[in-house]
């Protein structure tokens, strides 16, 4: 599927623009790193509190970081899409990239589980409440998946094709 899409976008105007603009790739890397910092920085605090750590923090208050997390995800989604369009044939067959995409999909499903099962009951928590098992499961799963996304992203330049 990725390879089919890669063949569609190779030599497209966007692909040619990204490849011919020498300063664009480093700028995209910087923006991607900023997005990663916002995404993971916020999620670490949210997930660790949701898992029962940092009990001095109100669980609902940590979720005020969600707009920053979403901003970080948006920056990474946009720059990641541009990275793919800039070198589609390399990314589409790269095992690190493929695993990263699978982990992002799983993280999205985990976020839906949070939204459906954890978020509706968070208003009943206080600083002294122990986190429900579902919240702990969602939190630790999120931490594991996003750590995997980070590691696979860093491996993309160094691992070969599928």
In a domain, 161, yes or no: no
The model's pTM is: 0.90
Q: Is residue 90 part of a domain?
A: yes
Domain containing 70 equals: 2-155
Place of tokens 């623009």: 17
Dihedral (CA of 23, 27, 29, 32) sign: negative
CA atoms of 44 and 48, how far apart (whole Å): 6
**Domain total in the chain:** 1
Judged on CB neighbours under 10 Å (0-12, 13-18, 19+), 39 is buried
In a domain, residue 162? The reply is: no
Assess if residue 70 is contained within a domain.
Answer: yes
**Within a domain: residue 16?**
yes
Bridge partner residues of 161 (DSSP): 94
Query: Considering the domain boundaries, does residue 17 fall inside one?
Result: yes
Q: Cα(30)–Cα(62) distance, rounded to whole angstroms?
A: 26
In a domain, 103, yes or no: yes
pLDDT digits (tens, 9 = 90+) for 13-70: 999 999 999 999 999 999 999 999 999 999 999 999 989 898 888 877 888 999 999 9
């Amino acid at each position: 599927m990725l390879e089919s899409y890669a063949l569609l976008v190779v030599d497209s105007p966007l692909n040619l623009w990204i490849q011919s603009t020498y300063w664009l790739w480093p700028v995209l890397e910087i923006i991607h790193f900023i997005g990663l910092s916002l995404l993971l920085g916020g999620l670490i605090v949210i997930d660790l509190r949701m898992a029962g750590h940092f009990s001095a923090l109100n669980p609902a208050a940590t979720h005020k970081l969600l707009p920053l997390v979403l901003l970080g995800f948006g920056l990474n989604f946009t720059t990641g899409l541009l990275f793919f369009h800039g070198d589609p044939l390399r990314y589409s067959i790269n095992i690190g990239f493929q695993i990263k995409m699978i982990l992002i999909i799983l993280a999205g499903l985990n976020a839906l589980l949070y939204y459906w099962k954890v978020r509706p009951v968070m208003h009943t928590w206080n600083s002294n409440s122990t986190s429900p098992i579902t919240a702990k499961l969602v939190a630790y799963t999120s931490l594991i998946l996003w750590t995997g996304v980070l590691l696979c992203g860093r491996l993309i330049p160094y691992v070969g094709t599928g």
